[in-house]
Amino acid sequence: QEDQFKKVISHAKEYGYVFQSSEIYDGLSAVYDYAQNGAQLKKNIREYWWKAMVQMHENIVGIDASIFMHPTTWKASGHVDAFNDPLIDNKDSKKRYRADVLIEDYVGKLDTKIEKEVKKAAKRFGDSFDKEQFIATNPRVLGYKEKGDAILKRMGQSLEKEDLADVKALIEELEIACPLSGSKNWTDVKQFNLMFGTKLGASAESAMDLYLRPETAQGIFVNFLNVQKTGRMKIPFGIAQTGKAFRNEIVARQFIFRMREFEQMEMQFFVKPGTQKEWYEQWKETRLKWHLSLGMGEDNYRFHDHEKLAHYADAASDIEFRFPFGFKELEGIHSRTDFDLKSHEEFSGKKLRYFDHEDNESYIPYVVETSIGLDRMFLAVFSNSLEEEALENNTTRTVLKLPAVLAPTKAAVFPLVKKDGLPEIAREIIEDLKWDFDVLYDEKDAVGKRYRRQDAAGTPFCITVDHDTKEDNTVTIRHRDTMEQKRVPISELKSIIAAEVSV
């Protein structure tokens, strides 16, 4: 698993997807830059999300709010007082950990044991194997599962009660039961606020303390009534946005999984009080379907319903994805009640109510939100697509099987040789296709090598112009995943590519 993750990181660099930020100065921890292919993949994921959420829903509109907001926003939202991570230091290794992440890592060890048992049993039982039933009936596996659940429950309760001594005690117990850090010498658990501060204004006296937004959601809440009125929106309706958020993460590791500067894609859905549970269930289902539509494997997703709820929520669930380092949160679906709007009403002194003409009453709507990290989605797509494929002739090929709709380049066009007018024809094809798709031209090296280069970069189609093209206006089109090659008329290229890469 670790090896696979290392491969993902080095492949992302080698093929121009992700670079460490400020690399020439040895980088900045947990900050990354998207390179030529990465920026394109990221844009395509963002557009795939925007289309599904905004374009396809008559009652959802999109906005683009600022990163800077009035500082009182973060008082009202609870971030100044409650946006904390519990931290613990290991006195021997001098390493700092997020206590909750550390505890989840211990539970992850139990999950790994379960997966091993499941794999063994699946081999033994063959086709008749029923995973759910096996987990529910095998005493050893059930034992691991119950233990994991009990640990998470105790952690949730202790954090909720702010019983930080018990969080420390739990870590100490777990370290003895299944050593992870190899040391027992811990400090107390302390809370640490995650917001980055900055200043607005030139002189020291008049400067105003600001925060870089730690989530995009508040930009939507403060604009709720403006959008509702100017867009003549009727409840239920949603406001979506994508944009940067900043968190001073302490345990910043795992590449772009946990960054200090990252991008969120959020949608806040405003509903009538009392109907939030139904909408919450519906959005869980809708969002899972969105993920499955990319064809990255049903088994790679699972829901994790929260026991420990944030101060604003009455229900919350994560869609977890199987990353190279195990199942982790990819997206959160939260029923946020009327907490935010109510609090902004109080702090701003402005009414944030919706007048319901049908029922002739006004109320503060409840909110169900879907919140996904664009960078995490990028990592999910990228790591899941990278394959080392064994070929029939005992060689292997590295192929990045990105969903075609998300691939940065849709087709590469090659002249078989650099003469006889073939480059000119290839260029003409590019000139024609580039209006609809991202395409590239490549004439360097043997065609086989060029195919491999595009396989590894994730390009779904390669088009080769050869001497026959001059006779009959046909070319070879090769499919990345099947490596199948077909002879087709140039005039059909557009529709063949469109059939695979369109949403």
Q: Which residues are annotated as a binding site for ATP?
A: 247-249, 257-262, 329-330, 373-376
Residue 262 within binding range of ligand ATP, rule CB under 6 A: yes
Does position 331 interact with ligand ATP (CB under 6 A)? The reply is yes
Task: Yes or no: say if 400 and 452 are a contact pair by the CB < 8 Å rule.
Answer: no
Minimal distance in Å, beta carbon 415 to ligand ATP?
42
> Of 249 and 442, which has the nearer Cβ to ligand ATP?
249
Q: Judged by CB under 6 A, which of 329, 345, 387, 438 binds ligand ATP?
A: 329
Q: Which residues, numbered 178-237, are part of the site for ligand ATP (CB under 6 A)?
A: 215
371 binds ligand ATP, rule: CB under 6 A = yes
State the binding site. Answer: 98, 215, 247-249, 257-266, 329-330, 369-376
Whether residue 264 contacts residue 220, with contact meaning beta carbons closer than 8 Å, is answered with: no
Between vectors from CA 138 to CA 135 and to CA 142, what angle results, nearest 5°?
A: 65
Partners of 209 in the beta sheet? 199
Give the DSSP per-residue string, 112-162: HHHHHHHHHHHHHHGGG--HHHHHHH-HHHHHHHHHHHHHHHHHHHHHHTT
Minimum distance between the CB of residue 289 and ligand ATP, rounded to whole angstroms? Answer: 17
Kindly list the distances between the CA atom of residue 435 and the CA atoms of 427, 430, 432, 488, 494, in Å, as whole numbers in the listed order: 13, 9, 7, 20, 10
Contacts to ligand ATP from residues 156-175, by CB under 6 A: none
Asked whether 444 and 428 are in contact (CB, 8 A), the reply is no
Chosen residue from 259, 352, 411, 463 binding ligand ATP by CB under 6 A: 259
Q: How far is the CB of 431 from ligand ATP (least distance, A)?
A: 39
CB of 451 to ligand ATP, least distance (A): 34
Q: Which stretch binds ligand ATP (CB under 6 A): 293-301, 367-375, 451-459, 480-488?
A: 367-375
The residue whose Cβ lies closest to ligand ATP is 373
Part of the chain binding ligand ATP (CB under 6 A), chosen from 4-12, 255-263, 462-470, 488-496: 255-263
**In the complex, least distance from residue 264 CB atom to ligand ATP, rounded to whole angstroms:** 5
* Closer residue to ligand ATP in complex, CB, 113/247: 247
Compare residues 242 and 264 and give the one whose CB is closer to ligand ATP.
Answer: 264
Tell me the number of residues near ligand ATP by CB under 6 A.
16
For residue 264, state whether it binds ligand ATP (rule: CB under 6 A): yes
Q: Are residues 258 and 226 in contact, defined by beta-carbon separation less than 8 angstroms?
A: no
181/242 with CB nearer ligand ATP: 242
Q: How far is the CB of 330 from ligand ATP (least distance, A)?
A: 6
CA dist., res. 466 & res. 472, Å (int)? 11
In 3D, which of 156, 161, 30, 144 has the Cα closest to residue 99? 156
3-state secondary structure of 16: coil
By beta-carbon proximity to ligand ATP, the closer residue of 11 and 258 is 258
Is-contact 436 430, C-beta < 8 A? no
Q: At CB < 8 A and 24+ separation, what contacts does 401-404 make?
A: 401/458, 401/480, 401/481, 402/41, 402/458, 402/460, 403/294, 403/295, 403/296, 404/460, 404/500, 404/501
**Distance from C-alpha of 196 to C-alpha of 454, rounded to nearest angstrom:** 40
The answer to the question of residue 376 lying near ligand ATP (CB under 6 A) is yes
Q: How many residues does the chain have?
A: 503
Contact residues for ligand ATP, defined by CB under 6 A: 215, 247, 249, 258-259, 262, 264, 329-332, 371-373, 375-376
